[in-house]
Structure 1
Amino acid sequence: MFLTVRVSFAGCRAEARYAVLLDVVPVDGKRYRYAYHRYSWLVAGKADRPAPARLYPHPDSPFALRH
């Protein structure tokens, strides 16, 4: 269900600290399910309302978000 995301960075300073944010937005107002027997995604109804915008730092991240 979830895609793999692979990124690489160049030109970053070794002594600097960076935060990388990923914003995932729906492409339409539909809910999908994967049909294994058809090897495809099928529309399975209307999408849920979007969740409130929040930042979720990865628990293993050495970077602490400050509000």
Structure 2
Amino acid sequence: RMFPTCRVSFNGLRPEGFYAVLMDIVPVDEKRYRYAYHRSCWLVAGKADPPAPARLYV
């Protein structure tokens, strides 16, 4: 898996209310990584792609 599992829980919400939950994943550096199965680790594989335009859809 590229990202670990994310589990959240909410308490005290109104049953008649409408809610939106957003999660943003941002890069930690300017590198691209690949997973080496034979070594069981992530390796630097070059320069990162340029960032995509910011979009939010509801």
Question: TM-score, structure 2 length as denominator?
Answer: 0.88
- Amino acid in the other structure paired with 2:17: A
3-state SS of 1:55 partner:
coil
Report the RMSD for the aligned CA atoms in angstroms. 1.1
- Amino acid in the other structure paired with 1:4: T
Identity %: 75
**For structure 1, which runs of at least 5 residues remain unmatched after alignment?**
57-64
Alpha-carbon distance, 1:5 to partner: 1.2
Counterpart of 1:46? 47
Alpha-carbon distance, 1:30 to partner: 0.4
**For structure 2, which runs of at least 5 residues remain unmatched after alignment?**
none
Question: TM-score, structure 1 length as denominator?
Answer: 0.77
